[in-house]
Structure 1
Amino acid sequence: MGRVQPRYIEIQQHLKAQIQSGAWPANHRIPPEEQLARDFGVSRMTANKAIRDLVQQGFLVRQSGVGTFVTDLKAESSLIEVHNIADEVRARGHAYACDVLASEALDADDEVASRLGVRLGAQVFHTLIVHRENGVPIQLEDRFVNPRWVPGYLDTDFARHTPNEVLVAACPISDVEHVVEAVLVDATTARHLDIDTARPCLSLTRRTWSGDHLVSYARLIHPGERYKLRSSVHRHSA
């Protein structure tokens, strides 16, 4: 005899289906606990647990005295810390996948040489990867790596391991520089991200160091409506 599914899970599945189908968009107020309890024939405590769990998972947000609302489900990444995008996607309970568009050695042009701190024409490693969440492109990662510090970079199967995983394993990150700007992208980039060229995007330029070594320079492009960046600073009393 099969195990009976808890009733609060049934309520959660109903609420998530409404959210993920688009029937309940961001900022939509969901039915109150009392109504959900009546609709599903359960106690208010059971309805409360269903909602509380979805709040913890980031699907809902409570506003005291007002109600419970659907959150903006844009993918979110820390602006200060450097995380593995695959781990971020999976932590949200979603499926991660990627398209590896390029994995190659190139001669550094003026921009790359300047950004990566190498001589003009020096050989650098280059990868171009589209990262997907539930099949939808959320980031185009255009990365250049100094081969001196990560000589085995291009030996990686990037369908299984992200550049972040490889770099952190080879050269633990000690310092990060970020520059964020709003941009419109060219037709090729728009095609990779499955958007049109009129759609605003976020561009995050990132350089990473390991000790005194400048290891990597990357430009990360995110469709604006699918992604947000978060920064948290904790101040300590003197």
Structure 2
Amino acid sequence: MPAAKYHSIKQFLFNEIASGRWPEHHRVPSENELATQFKVSRMTARRALQELADEGVLLRTKGLGSFVAPFKNQSSLVQVQNIEQEITQRGQKHRTELITLESRESDQEVSIALSLPIGSPVFFAAIVHYQDELPIQLEARYVNARLVPGFIEQDFSTTTPHEYLSQILPLTEADQLVEAVLADRQTLHYLKLNPPQACLQLTCRSWTALGVVSYTRLTHPGQHFRLGSQTKAN
């Protein structure tokens, strides 16, 4: 009977997510709530939640609860590279314009993405990347301050956040969500676009063995950017 109940809980949670009734970042019922609803022990409810977290369906954050994981439409064929390297490889000049580099307290979205309690210290950087004199990418990056305390002291006119993080920490894993978005007023301003304008947005998280390091949105003008991938046949 416990095994049947445990599978029933997993199926219930998965169905709510797959149907779209519970979108990304939606808080799912707690162990206590599921235990009461399905008339099982907390251990049975915990097993269902933890297995869905292990499968990448849920994110479990201590002190906050369990949430629908983002990036459910991610593609393993997409590899996010260093924008500076991409531009220089094309024989063009890369430069950055720093908009903001500051300390913040994490809100719910950032806390879920970085697996931190709400109000945790994070660093935020907003940077425009130029290809020659054309703004090609708006980078908005949140960084776990505990894992990368020196991030706030960097000069991002001489290096990029991607390059800096890759040098000081061995990044072991990343996931990405790729979507088309309509540029908001701030994006239009920094990328020097006229409305309405479609952009390609990559939302990424990167890990080390110690935890989630950064949560980033990279927004590109649709008219100046193409996304491709290459796979090898077996």
TM-score range, shorter chain: 0.5 to 0.7
Distance, in Å, in 2 between the alignment partners of 1:159 and 1:79 is: 30
Root mean square deviation, CA, Å? 1.5
Is 1:112 matched up with 2:110?
yes
* Residue from 123, 126, 142 that aligns with 2:124: 126
Match of 1:223 in 2: 221
SS at match of 1:206: strand
TM-aligned CA deviation for residue 129 of structure 1: 0.2
Distance, in Å, in 2 between the alignment partners of 1:87 and 1:179 is: 21
* Residue from 192, 199, 202 that aligns with 1:201: 199
- What does 1:1-238 correspond to in 2, within 5 Å? 80-236=78-234
Q: 1:153 to 1:79 in 2, by over 3 A?
A: farther
Distance, in Å, in 1 between the alignment partners of 2:77 and 2:219 is: 14
**Residue 97 of structure 1 contacts residue 132 of structure 1 at CA under 8 Å; is this kept in 2?**
yes
Instruction: Kindly provide the CA deviation profile for residues 3-32 of structure 1, in whole angstroms up to 9, marking residues without a partner as x.
Output: xxxxxxxxxxxxxxxxxxxxxxxxxxxxxx
Instruction: Kindly provide the CA deviation profile for residues 44-79 of structure 1, in whole angstroms up to 9, marking residues without a partner as x.
Output: xxxxxxxxxxxxxxxxxxxxxxxxxxxxxxxxxx96
- The letter for the 2-side match of 1:111 is E
TM-aligned CA deviation for residue 168 of structure 1: 0.3
- The letter for the 1-side match of 2:89 is A
Match of 2:28 in 1: none
Q: 1:79 to 1:149 in 2, by over 3 A?
A: farther
Unaligned runs of 5+ in 1: 1-77
Runs of 4+ in 1 over 4 A off after TM superposition: none
TM-aligned CA deviation for residue 212 of structure 1: 4.8
- Report how many aligned residue pairs link the two structures: 159
Q: 1:197 to 1:115 in 2, by over 3 A?
A: farther
Identical aligned pairs, as a percentage? 39
**Residue 179 of structure 2 contacts residue 200 of structure 2 at CA under 8 Å; is this kept in 1?**
yes
**Residue 141 of structure 2 contacts residue 214 of structure 2 at CA under 8 Å; is this kept in 1?**
yes
Distance, in Å, in 2 between the alignment partners of 1:233 and 1:150 is: 33
**Residue 132 of structure 1 contacts residue 139 of structure 1 at CA under 8 Å; is this kept in 2?**
yes
SS at match of 1:102: strand
Distance, in Å, in 2 between the alignment partners of 1:181 and 1:121 is: 28
Distance, in Å, in 1 between the alignment partners of 2:220 and 2:116 is: 27
**Residue 129 of structure 1 contacts residue 142 of structure 1 at CA under 8 Å; is this kept in 2?**
yes
Instruction: Kindly provide the CA deviation profile for residues 101-137 of structure 1, in whole angstroms up to 9, marking residues without a partner as x.
Output: 0011101111111111111111101100000001101
Unaligned runs of 5+ in 2: 1-75
SS at match of 1:215: strand
Q: 1:79 to 1:146 in 2, by over 3 A?
A: farther
Give the alignment's TM-score, normalised by structure 2.
0.65
Instruction: Kindly provide the CA deviation profile for residues 65-99 of structure 1, in whole angstroms up to 9, marking residues without a partner as x.
Output: xxxxxxxxxxxxx9633422111111100011111
